[in-house]
Structure 1
Amino acid sequence: MDDSTLAAVAVLSDDLRRRMYGFIRRSDGPVTRDEAADSVGISRKLAAFHLDKLVDVGLLRAGYGRPGETRGVGRAPKVYEPTDLDVQVSIPQREHGLLADILLDAVRTQDPGESGRDAALRVAADRGRELGDAERGRTRPGRLGAERALTCAGQMLERHGFEPARATPTLVRLQNCPFHPLAAKDPDLVCAINHAFLAGFLDGLGATTLTATLAPRPGACCVELGTAVPPASATSPTGA
């Protein structure tokens, strides 16, 4: 949640403002101060105060006049209408829109002979890779060391509500599942999508020193990030 979202929520915590805002959203066109005041049973002057608060946080926009209507001699009334601001508050943070986008793209791009699950995992990996590429563009080019990679990954994870926490210097556990409670309906599918998304992100980031691993824990994300384990040598210590 950014500051503008918190400001909008704070303004809507007032019952009168919330009711006027709902009335204006349901209206077919711009609403005058008198109409807003009548909708909640208060004076025009008090309504103007509350309406201006809604304008200040971006929930409403103000203008002057409706076709053929004036107030006094040649004076158009001030009117209000809703903006496109979309206010969503969730604690802890959820990313249901991201999951829906992945599933929708999977349906649209599913190849002949490809299962719905495989299509979803493919799209999730591609989406994560795109995000990793963008994140890498904001960092210095070249190979990322483990520490730098964990820092970059942690910034993205924080923005998307995973609530990353360093369990050890080389392990990041994700305290929140942004896809909950949908994940509870089909944990195998949603966790696989989440894993593909985060693995794709690391790939796009160029974080070859890190790996995303499925490690389900109650009440937390099913994936954790850690330092990649180098492959075992093909030759044993004894040379056999």
Structure 2
Amino acid sequence: MTSDSTSLAAVAALSDDLRRSMYEFIRRAGRAVTRDEAAQSVGISRKLAAFHLDKLVDAGLLTTRYEQPGGLRRVGRTPKVYEPSALDVQVSIPQREPVLLADILIDAVLAETPGESAGEAARRLAGERGRHLGHTERAGLRGARLGPERALTCAQHVLERHGFEPSRDTPTLVRLRNCPFHPLAARAPELVCGINHAFLTGFLTGLDAPAVQATLIPRPGHCCVELGVPGAAGDQEAACGKDAPPESP
């Protein structure tokens, strides 16, 4: 899936009616299209078409090369042609990760064995996917020592990219304000939350952060998992105090 910034840039480029019409024309053409053809499709000048086509190229929606239309060899300058890129644009606010969940579930069905249910396979594969992500992030730290608070900071940055909307409530507690697997999690909470918990537990294992744990704490409107250091002084009181009702006088 594309990153948020890439997807938003693509959507912004297509917000212009002329660009969107040219882009749709090029997709329907089923072949590379010249600048003149794109201009004629929307009834504008070749120069104005070049401006809009370049915007679509900059946004990653089109690719360009130089070739003669129809593959014919002609005398003179070879024109630039445009065709759709492989960019897959998906925008969701708040961010969702249905592809990640779908990949895990498909792999689980394909890997299911007589001694392992699809749900068990899904949790196992989610853990493996999380460990791979953690290993990748750990490698980028070049062997630097990773204490609990630094591990949580690293986790914040990574999980922000995946749409969890992490919030550092205390130095040793990160709550996840968004469930990137919603609304699927609402349909099968035990299955999806179990996959999510296994994924985040695997991530911490791959990150080599044994002092930090992923804990299942379902709360309405939030992700079902939070990351923290068990028994950290003052953190449990601070976390509980946020949701606890005021004491009666």
With the length of structure 2 as denominator, give the TM-score of the two structures.
0.83
Residues 207-229 of structure 1 deviation map (CA, whole Å, 9 limit, x = unaligned): 11111111112221111111124
The residue that corresponds to 1:139 in the other structure is: 141
Residues 159-209 of structure 1 deviation map (CA, whole Å, 9 limit, x = unaligned): 111111012222110011111122122111111100010011111212111
Asked whether 1:68 is paired with 2:64, we answer no
Higher helix share: 2
Equivalent AA in structure 2 for residue 211 of structure 1: Q
Q: Aligned-pair distance for 1:98?
A: 0.9
The residue that corresponds to 1:113 in the other structure is: 115
Asked whether 1:214 is paired with 2:216, we answer yes
The residue that corresponds to 2:22 in the other structure is: 20
Q: Aligned-pair distance for 1:2?
A: 5.3
Q: How many residues align?
A: 228
In 2, Cα distance between equivalents of 1:191 and 1:80: 44
Q: Aligned-pair distance for 1:48?
A: 2.4
Question: CA RMSD of the aligned region, Å?
Answer: 2.1
In 2, Cα distance between equivalents of 1:68 and 1:4: 35
Q: Aligned-pair distance for 1:36?
A: 1.7
Taking the TM superposition and a 5 Å limit, the aligned residue runs for 1:53-64 are: 53-62=55-64, 63-64=66-67
Higher mean alpha-carbon deviation, 127-136 vs 46-55, is at 46-55
Q: Aligned-pair distance for 1:35?
A: 2.4
Equivalent AA in structure 2 for residue 43 of structure 1: S
Contact 2:4/2:91 (<8 A) preserved: no
The residue that corresponds to 1:234 in the other structure is: none
Q: Aligned-pair distance for 1:54?
A: 1.4
> 1:121 and 1:148, CA in 2 relative to 1: closer, same or farther beyond 3 A?
same
Among candidates 193, 196, 213, match of residue 194 of structure 1: 196
Contact 1:125/1:196 (<8 A) preserved: yes
Equivalent AA in structure 2 for residue 136 of structure 1: R
Taking the TM superposition and a 5 Å limit, the aligned residue runs for 1:1-240 are: 1=3, 3-62=5-64, 63-66=66-69, 67-68=71-72, 74-139=76-141, 141=143, 144-229=146-231
> 1:44 and 1:165, CA in 2 relative to 1: closer, same or farther beyond 3 A?
same
> 1:116 and 1:4, CA in 2 relative to 1: closer, same or farther beyond 3 A?
closer
Contact 2:212/2:227 (<8 A) preserved: yes
Q: Aligned-pair distance for 1:5?
A: 3.7
In 2, Cα distance between equivalents of 1:98 and 1:4: 18
Contiguous gaps of at least 5 residues in structure 1: 231-240
> 1:186 and 1:33, CA in 2 relative to 1: closer, same or farther beyond 3 A?
same
In 1, Cα distance between equivalents of 2:166 and 2:15: 30
Contiguous gaps of at least 5 residues in structure 2: 233-249
In 2, Cα distance between equivalents of 1:121 and 1:183: 14
Higher mean alpha-carbon deviation, 140-149 vs 54-63, is at 140-149
